[in-house]
DNA sequence: GGACTGACAGATATTGAAATCTGTCAGCTG
DNA sequence: CAGCTGACAGATTTCAATATCTGTCAGTCC
């Protein structure tokens, strides 16, 4: 008898099926076939196809989160950390897009299927930006009166370089130049930024 | 006998047909029907359906270009002009998106059909940003060693607030707050920005 | 008796034949 | 004869019949 069927094994098989067939064609039956079980068995571990897809996506995003964490260097200046972090995120997404466009397209679709998933992903990464900015404020390298809001602004200002909707622009030969220009503008802004309060002031 | 059929009349009718049927369903036959002529006549004025769609789109974009031009105030500071200009562009697109979502979706499709059209539109608007920044540099309000590149960076950093791919986010109640945060960051950056040269330096 | 199967109902996707559309052009019309 | 028509060929879209898929569950098998 084969090993017992685990959720983890199903996730691995699902990722493989998605890679092979793409998000539109991949079916639960395909996953079951790849595992040599009936598709009913898959439903013992995941209540719906959507839940299965979401679990695969979370796995993939978690790997990115861990990887991004490792870019930070406690010794470096906040500006250098922010630059390196943004560059790494850009490189990661761009490489994924040019090297394995079908897999990238697959995850682009998966991420857009749920409201919770992008929220989870963006929340996590904006949190990492907030930590970088926070360190910068402590050393007086950066100025801001609302770290969370500023972190979100940095994220928003760099969307062209990580949002999948802009992936087609990443093939442009001048894209690295455009990236440097935006990041320089943002870092310069952080050194002197004082965002007026959202809801009103004197 | 009716008036002679003009290119302008065809454009007006095409816009109406697009508004009514949407970009997927609108046909040249529909346009001809609306004008009370045979569809062969439309082809005397526009060589292909694509050319007709492109002409309609250019008309629509030109109206935006003229409108954006009128926002600038020679008396105001460069920062105020930039803020007002970006805010107007954002409001224009957002209102169009919520008030007439089908028409907005239509033009979103039309713009994405051609490579030349977005280039034309973006080139024009980035040119307007460059003029604002240029004025700011002259009064020493802004610092930059490459106006064109910086203008492009300002455009890129604010994509979330004008690129149609992000239109769904414009319904978020905190979107104006996010806009203010990004614009403040960008304006702060312009006051002190010195982007390192693209191709290398000392 | 807990894990799995396979048959089933309703929902979704595929397919290919029929209908429509695009772009052309010879000829009509004022 | 300049501008328009309408019939036409090939490309594209529509639609309905057919096949497949999702999610359930009574029953089988260690």
Contact between A10 and A52 under an 8 Å Cβ cutoff? The reply is: yes
Whichever domain contains B153, its CATH number is 1.10.357.10
Whether A186 shows a pLDDT value over 60: the answer reads yes
- Rounded distance between C-alpha atoms, residue B60 and residue A183, angstroms: 33
Nearest C-alpha neighbor of A24 from the set A138, A90, A106, A93: A106
Q: Where residue B193 falls among pLDDT bands split at 50, 70, 90? A: low
Whether B44 shows a pLDDT value over 90: the answer reads yes
State the smallest CA–CA distance between residue B57 and chain A in angstroms: 21
What per-residue confidence (pLDDT) applies to B196?
54
Q: Where residue A201 falls among pLDDT bands split at 50, 70, 90? A: very low
Measure the CA angle with vertex A97, ends A121 and A100; round to 5°: 110
Tell whether A76 and A151 lie within a shared domain. yes
What per-residue confidence (pLDDT) applies to A153?
98
* Torsion of the alpha carbons at B138, B140, B141 and B147, rounded to the nearest 10: 50
The number of C-beta contacts closer than 8 angstroms across A and B is: 109
Whether B21 shows a pLDDT value over 90: the answer reads yes
Whether B195 shows a pLDDT value over 60: the answer reads no
Whether A196 shows a pLDDT value over 80: the answer reads no
Tell whether A147 and A174 lie within a shared domain. yes
Asked if A193 lies within 8 A of B177 by C-beta distance, the reply is no
- Within-domain flag for B199: no
- Within-domain flag for A200: no
- Within-domain flag for A197: no
What per-residue confidence (pLDDT) applies to A102?
86
Q: Which protein residues, judged by their CB atom, are less than 7 Å from any atom of strand D? A: A 1, 27-30, 39-40, 43, 47-50; B 4-5, 24-25, 36-41, 44
Rounded, the Å distance between the CA of A47 and C1' of C9 is 18
Whether B14 shows a pLDDT value over 90: the answer reads yes
Tell whether A58 and A40 lie within a shared domain. no
Whichever domain contains B36, its CATH number is 1.10.10.60
Which of A149, A185, A191 faces B153 most closely, judged by CB atoms? Answer: A185
- Within-domain flag for A198: no
Tell whether A16 and A91 lie within a shared domain. no
- Within-domain flag for A75: yes
- Within-domain flag for B75: yes
Give the chain A residue nearest B199 (alpha carbons).
Answer: A177
Give the chain B residue nearest A190 (alpha carbons).
Answer: B185
Whether A202 shows a pLDDT value over 90: the answer reads no
What's CA A85's distance to the chain center, in Å? Answer: 12
Tell whether B23 and B85 lie within a shared domain. no
Tokens representing residue A53 in the block? 């897809």
- Which residues form the domain of A29? 7-45
B25 to A17, A29, B20, B51: CA distances (angstroms):
35, 35, 9, 17
Whether A166 shows a pLDDT value over 60: the answer reads yes
Q: Where residue B192 falls among pLDDT bands split at 50, 70, 90? A: confident
Q: Which residue is nearest to nucleotide C21 (CA to C1')?
A: B27
Contact between A61 and A120 under an 8 Å Cβ cutoff? The reply is: yes
Q: How many separate domains does chain A show?
A: 2
A174 to B11, B46, B149, B165, B198: CA distances (angstroms):
36, 35, 11, 21, 9
Arithmetic mean of pLDDT, B139-155: 97
Tokens representing residue B55 in the block? 């002409």
Tell whether A37 and A79 lie within a shared domain. no
pLDDT in tens, A72-113: 999 999 999 999 999 999 999 999 999 988 889 999 999 999
Residues above pLDDT 90, as percent of chain A: 90
Tell whether B83 and B150 lie within a shared domain. yes
Tell whether B36 and B104 lie within a shared domain. no
Give A23's contacts (C-beta < 8 A, 6+ positions apart). A53, A105, A106, A109, A110
Rounded, the Å distance between the CA of A172 and C1' of C13 is 36
pLDDT in tens, A12-40: 999 999 999 999 999 999 999 999 999 99
- Within-domain flag for B197: no
Tell whether B94 and B134 lie within a shared domain. yes
Nearest C-alpha neighbor of B187 from the set B77, B89, B90, B91: B77
What per-residue confidence (pLDDT) applies to A200?
42
- Rounded distance between C-alpha atoms, residue B190 and residue B151, angstroms: 10
B29: CB within 7 A of chain C nucleic strand? yes
Tell whether A40 and A59 lie within a shared domain. no
Measure the CA angle with vertex A19, ends A109 and A11; round to 5°: 85
B49: CB within 7 A of chain C nucleic strand? yes
A48: CB within 7 A of chain C nucleic strand? no
DSSP result, B119-185: HHHHHHHHHHHHHHHHHHHHTTSS--S-HHHHHHHHHHHTGGGT-GGGGGGGGSTTHHHHHHHHHHH
Which of A182, A193, A194 faces B153 most closely, judged by CB atoms? Answer: A182
What per-residue confidence (pLDDT) applies to A195?
56
pLDDT in tens, B166-177: 999 999 999 999
What per-residue confidence (pLDDT) applies to A16?
96
Tell me B73's DSSP state: -
- Within-domain flag for A201: no
Tell whether A77 and A165 lie within a shared domain. yes
Tell me what the pLDDT averaged over chain A comes to.
93
Element (H, E) at A4: none
Tell whether B41 and B65 lie within a shared domain. no
Whether B202 shows a pLDDT value over 90: the answer reads no
Tokens representing residue A14 in the block? 């699902």
């Amino acid at each position: 008898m084969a090993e017992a069927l685990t959720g983890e094994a199903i996730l691995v098989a699902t990722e493989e099926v998605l890679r092979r067939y793409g998000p539109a064609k991949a079916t639960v039956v395909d996953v079951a076939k790849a595992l040599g079980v009936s598709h009913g068995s898959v439903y013992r571990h995941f209540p719906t196809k959507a839940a299965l897809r979401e679990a695969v996506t979370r796995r993939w995003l978690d790997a990115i989160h861990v990887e991004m964490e490792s870019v930070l260097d406690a010794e470096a200046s906040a500006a250098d950390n922010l630059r390196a972090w943004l560059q790494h995120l850009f490189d990661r997404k761009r490489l994924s897009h040019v090297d394995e466009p079908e897999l990238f397209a697959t995850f682009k679709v998966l991420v857009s299927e749920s409201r919770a998933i992008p929220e989870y992903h963006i929340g996590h990464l904006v949190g990492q930006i907030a930590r970088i900015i926070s360190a910068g404020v402590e050393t007086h390298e950066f100025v801001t009166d609302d770290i969370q809001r500023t972190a979100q602004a940095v994220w928003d200002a760099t969307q062209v370089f990580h949002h999948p909707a802009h992936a087609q622009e990443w093939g442009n030969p001048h894209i690295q130049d455009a990236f440097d220009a935006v990041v320089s503008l943002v870092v310069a802004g952080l050194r002197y930024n004082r965002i007026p309060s959202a809801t009103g002031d004197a």
